[in-house]
Amino acid sequence: MRRPKKRTARGRTVLDGTQGPRRIKLTINGEDLDLAFKSPRTLLEVLRDDLNLTGTKQGCDGGECGACTVLIEDEPRLACLTLAATLHGKKVLTIEGLAKDGNLHPLQRAFLAKGAVQCGYCTPGVILSAKALLDRNPTPTEEEVKKALAGNLCRCTGYKKIIDAVLEAGREFESLIR
């Protein structure tokens, strides 16, 4: 059972909430933000609780399910295991920032068209993991897709349509580049 505890496990490094408010500057979904928070907070808490960006999901709180995957400096990272204070000067992308000017990202379109979404709880994390893959390799093999998404659990789809969607989006990516 979860016992009350001081947040030392999370704030192990420097912050234990006694140093007064911290200020950091970072970019979230293209918007420059200047954040102040007192207790050591995870990126997930800052996104969901402070910024109301609830598209980033909390599935396990232990880095096991991948539902809270966001892109930090274009790399997939688990927001539940990332201390917000470590992100000074960094660039963060969440699912809310993926569509540009109302135009869906090719991955979002492909996930809809291929039926890769059921309950949708894992979807934001899966899409962002896949984006990191396609950004560096627009024509992945099925094995490369599997490897890139190995940290994202999905309980509904059986993954097959997710793979189909990522490969489809990759093809669209490639044709855009050409």
Partner 1 sequence: MADLRVVGRSHPRVDGLEKVTGAARFSPDVKFPRMIVGKILRSPHPHAKILHIDASRALRLPGIKAVVTAEDTPKAKVNSAASTYYFEERGAKNVAPTPMVMDQTVFCGDVARFVGDEVAAVAAVDEETALEALSLIKVDYELLPPVFDPLKAMEPGTPLVHEAERNIAYKFVIRRGDIEKGFAEAHVIHEDTYTTQLQHQAYLGPTACVADADGSGRVMIWTELQSPFRARRLLSDMLGLPASKVRIFQTHVGGAFGGKHFKRVQPICALLALKARRPVRLCLTREEEFMSSPPRHATHIRLKMGASRDGTLVAKETYIVLNSGAYGEVGPIILDTMTKRVDSLYRFTNIKTDSFLVYTNTVPGGAFRGFGNPPMDFALESHMDMLAEKLGMDPVELRLKNARRVGEVSAHGWEVKSCALTECIEKAAEAIRWKEKRAKQKLAGGKPRGVGIGCMIHVSGCRYYPGFYGSNAVVSVGDHGQVYLFSGESELGQGCKTVMAQIVAEELGICLEDVVVPDLDTDFSPHSLGAYADRTTHIGGNATRLAAIDAREQLFEFAAEMLEADPGDLVAQDRKIFPKGSPQRAVSFLEVAKRSWFHTGGKEIVGRGSWDPPSVPPDPETQYGNVSSAYTFGAQIAEVEVDPKTGKVTILNFAAAHDVGKAINPMAVEGQLEGALVQGAGYGLMEDMVGIDGRIYNPNFLNYRLPTILDISPMKIMMVESNDPVGPYGAKGVAEPALVATAPALANAIYHAVGVRITNLPVTPQKILAALKDKERREKRRSE
The binding site for partner 1 (CB under 8 A) comprises: 1-5, 7, 48, 52-62, 64-65, 67, 94-96, 98-99, 104, 108, 111-115, 117-124, 127, 145-147, 149-150, 152-163
Q: How far is the CB of 133 from partner 1 (least distance, A)?
A: 12
| CB closer to partner 1 out of 88 and 120 | 120
| CB closer to partner 1 out of 14 and 119 | 119
| CB closer to partner 1 out of 151 and 178 | 151
Distance from first CA to last CA of the chain, Å, rounded? 55
| CB closer to partner 1 out of 82 and 152 | 152
Q: How far is the CB of 178 from partner 1 (least distance, A)?
A: 25
Q: How far is the CB of 173 from partner 1 (least distance, A)?
A: 16
Q: For residues 27 and 120, what is the distance between their CA atoms, to the nearest angstrom?
A: 26
* Closest to 107 measured CA to CA, from 30, 161, 52, 27: 161
Structural contact between residues 112 and 141, judged by C-beta atoms closer than 8 angstroms: no
Q: For residues 146 and 142, what is the distance between their CA atoms, to the nearest angstrom?
A: 6
Q: Which residues contact 154 (CB under 8 A, 6 or more apart)?
A: 122, 126, 162
Q: How far is the CB of 172 from partner 1 (least distance, A)?
A: 15
